[in-house]
Structure 1
C-alpha cells in the first residue's frame, strides 16, 4: 500500500494505516503489563511515524520487509514490544489454529470468540466475570524482550562503512558530546541517504542479531523462504498424477517429493543447509525445507494436495490428503533422535488419529544413528510377516560431502 501511495492521506495510505494494527493483543498475555492482561492501543502518532519512515525507505528503492524491525533504531518511541504486538496481530489466525489443535489434542474445552471467528479458543473468567479468550504462543517463536535495543553494536557495525561514517561525523561535527538520541538521529539520516546506504545498514543489523542469526539459519527459515520464492529447477514431473485412484496415487506423489528432497541433499548441496558449525541443525530445519519442496512440487504438478505441518501438540508431521478418505502421512526424524520410538509408537498413533494405513518414516542420517536403523527395519519386517501394513522407511544421507571437484 505504501509503495503505491502518492501522499499521506490518499486511499493507499489509509489502506496501509488500517493494516498497521499496533494494539497489544491481550489474548496471549505477552508484554510488559505489571497488572492485568488488557491490551493497550499505542498513540496514533507512533503509527504515523512508522508509516512515514517505511515510506521513506521504500522511496529510496529498498523493499526488504525487515525494515519494520529497524523502527526501534530509527524512532525513539518504537520498541521491540511494538514490533512483537504488530507481528502477533498479523499471525493471529495461525496462533489460533495452533491453539485450537493443541486444546483438541489434550481435551481442553474451546469456544467461539470474535477475535478469530475461524477457530475456537480456550477461555478464562476475569475478575469482572467476563469470559476472555486465550491464545497460546509456541515457545520456539518467543524471544526474550530486551529493555532497550542494543544500539552500541549496531552503531559500531554501521560506522565501519566509510560513507556512512563520514556522513554521521559531518552531522555531529558541531556537537562536543552527542547524546544517544543525537547519534541515533544522525545515523538515521545517514542510513536513509540512498538505497545502498540503507541496504548496508540493514546488513549491519542482521550481522549483529543475537536471537536468530540468518548467517547460521539454524532452523532453515531463510532457506525455506528462498525455496518458496524461487522453487527448484526439477519440480515438474513428466507423468501426471490421477488422484481419483486414491491413497495409492497420493502415496506415489509423497514418495516423489521425498525422492526429490533426497536427491538435492545427497547429490546436491542441500546437505549444507542441515548443518551449522559442524553440528546437525535442529530437527525442524530439515522438516521445514522438505515442506517447502513438497509444497512447490504439488503446485508445479497441478496436484490438489496441501502438505500440512501439524505443530499443535508435538513434532511436525505432514499430512497429504485428497478428499476425506485418502491420506498419507510423513514423519521426519534426525538419526540422533528418538528414531525407534518414533517409528514403532509415534507414527502409529498419528496413523490411528488420521484414520490411514499409509505413512512414510523419513530419517535424516547425520552419521549418529548407531543400530537404530536395523531395529526399526526389524519392526517393519515383523509387521509385514504378520500380514500387517507397515510404514515405509526412507533414510536420507545428510553426512557432509566433498565438493564436486573432489569427488571421484
Structure 2
C-alpha cells in the first residue's frame, strides 16, 4: 500500500494505516499490565511516524519486510514491545492454530471462543470471573531485538561501510561529543541516503539479529568454556618462534593458530559447534572459538592477542603484536556476509589505521560463498601484479559433514 501511495491520506495510505494495528493483543499476555491483560493502542502519531518512515524506505526501492524491525532504531518512541505487538497481530491466526494443536497433543482443556477462524483455545479467568482465550507463543520464534539492547553493535557494523561512515560524519558536522540521539539521527539519514546504503545497513542489522536458545549454544559460549578449560593439543610448536624477527615471524605464528582452528573444523568435529540445526551460527560464534584457541596458543608462545582492537579506524577482529611496531591483523568473515567489501576495503582500512602491512583474511565457508572467493582472489592477484602487498586469504570449510565413522 505504501509503495503505490502518492500522498499522505490518499486511499492506499489509509489502507496501510488500517493494516498497521499497534494494539496490544490481550490473548498472549505479553504486555506490562498490572491487574489487566487488555492491551492499549499506541498514540496515532507513532503509527503515522512508522508509516512515513516505511514510505521513505520503500521509495528508495527497498522491499525487504525486515525494514519493520528497524522502526525502533529510526523512531525514538518505537520499542521492541511495539514491534512485538504488531507482529503478533499479523500472525495471530497462526499462533491460534499452533496453540490449539499443542493443547490437543498435551491434554490441555480447550474451549470455544468467538475469535478469528474459530480455533478451540485454552481459557483464562480474570479476577472478575470473565473468560478470555489464551494464545501461546512458541519460544523458538521469540528473538532479541538488538535495536533496543545492542544498538552500539549495529552502529559499529554499519560504520564499517566507508560511504555510510563518511555520510554520518558529514551529518554530525562539528559536534565534538554527539549524543546517542544525534548519532542515531545521523546514521538514520546516512542509511536512507540510497537503496544501496539502506541494503547495507539492513545487512548489518541482520548480522546482529537472531533468537538465542542456551540449549543450542547459538553463540558457542558453552563450547568456548570447554575449550578454555581443556585446550587443544599441539599449541606449543616443536620449532620455537623468534618474535624478535618482527612481523614476518608473527605472521607464521598467526598462520599456525588459523591452521589449528581450520584443522579442527575441517578434519575434526568442531564444525558442529558452528551450526544450530541446519542454520549457521552467528559470525560471533566462530570468532569466539577461534579466539579461545589463538589465546591459548599465544600464551604458550609469549605473543599478545587483542580481540576487537580499535586502532582508530574501527575494531578489527584480532590484532597480534609483539612490541609496538610488529603487528598482524586478522579479519574473519562468514561466507554469507560482506566478504568482498571486507577484503577489498575493510581490512585495508584497518591496516592503514594500525600502521601495518600485514593482514590475513579468513572466510568461514558455510556453503554459500558463491563467486565471492573468485572475486577476492582476483583483487589479490591484481594487487600483487602491481607490486603491492596483498593480504593472504584463508578459507575454512565449515559446511556440515558426515560423522567420522561414515566418512570415506
Q: TM-score, structure 2 length as denominator?
A: 0.52
Of 68-77 and 149-158, deviating more is 149-158
* Corresponding position: 1:139 with 2:139: yes
Residues of 2 paired with 1:132 and 1:165: CA distance? 51
| Correspondence for 1:101 | 101
Distance 1:39 1:277, change over 3 A: farther
| Correspondence for 1:278 | 272
**Deviation at residue 7 of structure 1 after TM alignment:** 1.0
Distance 1:281 1:159, change over 3 A: closer
SS state at 1:132 partner: strand
Residues of 2 paired with 1:35 and 1:146: CA distance? 30
Q: Are the equivalent residues in 2 in contact too, given 1:21–1:89 (CA < 8 A)?
A: yes
Distance 1:170 1:19, change over 3 A: same
Q: Are the equivalent residues in 2 in contact too, given 1:280–1:366 (CA < 8 A)?
A: no
Residues of 1 paired with 2:18 and 2:104: CA distance? 33
Residues of 2 paired with 1:369 and 1:33: CA distance? 53
Residues of 2 paired with 1:276 and 1:73: CA distance? 36
Q: Are the equivalent residues in 2 in contact too, given 1:72–1:149 (CA < 8 A)?
A: no
**Deviation at residue 368 of structure 1 after TM alignment:** 5.3
| Correspondence for 2:78 | 78
Distance 1:370 1:197, change over 3 A: closer
**Deviation at residue 33 of structure 1 after TM alignment:** 3.3
Distance 1:174 1:146, change over 3 A: closer
**Deviation at residue 10 of structure 1 after TM alignment:** 1.0
SS state at 1:88 partner: helix
Residues 3-402 of structure 1 mapped to structure 2, 5 A cutoff = 3-143=3-143, 148-209=148-209, 211=211, 277-279=271-273, 367=402
**Deviation at residue 115 of structure 1 after TM alignment:** 3.2
Distance 1:122 1:369, change over 3 A: farther
SS state at 2:77 partner: coil
Distance 1:66 1:139, change over 3 A: same
Residues of 2 paired with 1:190 and 1:280: CA distance? 33
Q: CA RMSD in A?
A: 3.2
Q: Are the equivalent residues in 1 in contact too, given 2:121–2:134 (CA < 8 A)?
A: yes
Distance 1:117 1:208, change over 3 A: closer
**Deviation at residue 73 of structure 1 after TM alignment:** 1.0
Residues of 1 paired with 2:151 and 2:112: CA distance? 43
Residues of 2 paired with 1:157 and 1:145: CA distance? 15
Q: Are the equivalent residues in 1 in contact too, given 2:23–2:86 (CA < 8 A)?
A: yes
Q: TM-score, structure 1 length as denominator?
A: 0.52
Residues of 2 paired with 1:144 and 1:157: CA distance? 17
Distance 1:200 1:212, change over 3 A: farther
**Deviation at residue 149 of structure 1 after TM alignment:** 3.3
**Deviation at residue 87 of structure 1 after TM alignment:** 1.0
| Correspondence for 2:365 | none
1:190-220 CA deviation, whole Å, 9 max, x = no partner?
110110111111111112235369xx9x8xx
**Deviation at residue 143 of structure 1 after TM alignment:** 2.9
Q: Are the equivalent residues in 2 in contact too, given 1:73–1:149 (CA < 8 A)?
A: no
**Deviation at residue 281 of structure 1 after TM alignment:** 5.0
Residues of 2 paired with 1:142 and 1:35: CA distance? 24
**Deviation at residue 125 of structure 1 after TM alignment:** 1.1
**Deviation at residue 369 of structure 1 after TM alignment:** 11
| Correspondence for 2:396 | none
Unaligned regions of 5+ residues in structure 1, if any? 219-274, 286-364, 372-398, 402-408
Residues of 1 paired with 2:270 and 2:100: CA distance? 34
SS state at 2:124 partner: strand
1:202-252 CA deviation, whole Å, 9 max, x = no partner?
111112235369xx9x8xxxxxxxxxxxxxxxxxxxxxxxxxxxxxxxxxx
Unaligned regions of 5+ residues in structure 2, if any? 219-268, 280-399
